Amino acid sequence: MDNKKIIVYTTPTCSYCVILKNYLKENGVEFEEVDVSKDEEVQKRMIEKSGQMGVPVTEINGDIVVGFDKGKIDEAIGL
Amino acid sequence: MAGGLPRKKISMYDVIIVGGGPAGITAGIYGMRKNLRTLLITKDFVGQTGSAGIIENWPGEKEIKGIELMQKLEKHLRHFGPEIREGDMVKKIQKENGAFRVITTEKEEVAKTIIIATGRNPRPLKVAGEERLTGKGVSYCVTCDGALFRNKKVVVVGGGDAGFMAALELKEYCEKVYIIENAPKVRAEEISLEKAERADNIEIITGAKIEEIKGDIMVESVVYEKEGEKKEIDAKGVFIAIGSIPATDFLNEIVEFNERGEIKIDPWTAATKTKGVFAAGDVTQIRDKQIVVACSEGVKALLSAYHFLKK
């Protein structure tokens, strides 16, 4: 696993966000969390990048994974 | 097989549990305590419970977030060490030589008994635009997506308890919340109804039928018909809360269904019409769709499977 920049877009109540964050933590993956419910600009950016309005969204060096899709996340991060 | 090569050995499970909600997890815990070779197959450990906001009727916890409760249950299950296939989905269950072949997206497994505990999915509204705009403004889960609609106008479809609970959560941060109900009257609990009526940013529209959800890329508006007149609401979000349907797509003739599409079980044993196949929790016709009830139904199904295996 090389040093990839990982951003996780979340809201405070979303269940899959909790699961995703726990999964990354368990695997020792460092990430930056952004709460999109508090910042409309960031929210807009997430919607533009992912083409949809659900959370979580994970950005891995610019690649986007929507939802808690373990397979895609593993692949993108190299877990 | 030609050439006398060894046949691929298929290992048989005592029980395969389909579903990772409260019913399936509890069945799994009991399966391990009964020393059964247990496999649990689930898409994830979230489901209806994990998507619920605060739960106040789980004994031992005055209040707990749905997802926290699910994580505790999952941890408890993993502690006993059953085999777990997460992220997989069952496509078909076939009866075969006195056992059952379970075909999933990833592979096939064989078991002597089966417990179906797949719960329920949100009921779709079935209007134009709904499927195309799901995840793009159309949602079935306020806890999941509500916070993305801060300062925006949203529509909640459904004037039952679920719809009102959704609206009362959304009103805290949305500019305006419309509750649209097909029937002439809403059917929510008095206490929720009063709260909604007191809120100055909730509008309740009854006797209205949604005709279309519009939007090129994201939701832009909702068209409904009331008293023969078509109206359009400017809204960025549509939350559909018109109940749920049992998750039984993968099931064929091995079980029977009631008029609501729920699996028919014997209430004493959780047995379905096929010997060796049991079902538990919200996917069945059992009256009370409650977490605690689902757990106990899971136990009932597992113990019945155990007695069946020991016969």
- Check B144, B234, B249, B266 and give the catalytic one: B144
Mean pLDDT of all residues belonging to chain B: 95
**To the nearest whole angstrom, how far is the Cα of B85 from the nearest Cα of chain A?**
13
Q: Which of B277, B275, B267, B264 is nearest to B300 (CA)?
A: B267
Question: pLDDT confidence of B255, banded at 50, 70, 90?
Answer: very high
Q: Are the beta carbons of A8 and A21 closer than 8 angstroms?
A: yes
> Chain A, 11-70: which have a CB under 8 Å from a chain B CB?
11-16, 18-19, 22, 36-37, 40, 43, 47, 51-55, 66, 68, 70
What burial letters (b/e) apply to B178-191, b meaning 16+ CB within 10 Å? Answer: bbbbeeeebebeee
Chain A residue numbers touching B145 (CB-CB < 8 A)? 11, 14, 53-55
Q: Measured between alpha carbons, how far is B83 from B206 in angstroms, rounded to an integer?
A: 49
Q: Pick from A45, A53, A68, A73 the residue to mutate for testing the B interface (most B CBs within 10 Å).
A: A53
| Residue B141 bears catalytic tag | yes
Give the pLDDT band of residue B1 (cuts 50, 70, 90): very low
Token digits of residue B224: 């409904």
Flag if B148 and A68 touch (Cβ within 8 Å). no
Task: Round the average pLDDT of chain A to a whole number and report it.
Answer: 91
Query: Looking at domain A7-52, does it have CATH number 3.40.50.970?
Result: no
pLDDT at A38: 87
Indicate the pLDDT class of residue B8, thresholds 50, 70 and 90: low
CB-closest option in B45, B46, B135 to A54: B135
Instruction: Please tell me the distance from the alpha carbon of residue B113 to that of residue B265, in angstroms, as a whole number.
Output: 15
| Chain A residues in contact with B150 (beta carbon < 8 A) | 37, 40
Q: What is the C-alpha to C-alpha distance for residues B26 and B145, in angstroms, rounded to an integer?
A: 29
Best interface-test mutation with B: which of A9, A13, A38 has the largest number of B CBs within 10 A?
A: A13
Map tokens 């699910």 to a residue: B70
Q: CB B145 to CB A14 under 8 A?
A: yes
Q: How many CA atoms lie within 13 A of B180 on its CB side?
A: 24
Please tell me the pTM assigned to this model.
0.87
**pLDDT digits over A4-45, tens only?**
899 999 998 899 999 999 999 999 999 999 999 988 899 999
- Look at the block and give the residue holding tokens 């993968």: B250
Domain ranges within chain A, ordered by starting residue? 7-52
Contact call for B151 and A40, based on CB within 8 A: yes
pLDDT at B3 over 60: no
Which tokens belong to A50?
A: 């992912």
ipTM for this model: 0.85
Q: Give tens-digit pLDDT for B107-149.
A: 999 999 999 999 999 999 999 999 999 999 999 999 889 999 9
Higher pLDDT, B87 or B297: B297
Lowest mean pLDDT among A63-67, B3-7, B21-25: B3-7
Contact B102, B90 (CB under 8 A): yes
Q: For residue B7, is pLDDT > 60? A: no
Contacts of B79 (CB under 8 A, 6+ apart): none
First to last CA, chain B: 34
Q: In a mutagenesis test of the B interface, which of A15, A33, A49, A52 is the best target, namely the one with the most B β-carbons within 10 Å?
A: A15
CB-based contact B163:B179 (threshold 8 Å): yes
- Is B174 known to be catalytic? no
Task: Please name the member of B46, B53, B173 whose beta carbon is closest to the beta carbon of A16.
Answer: B46
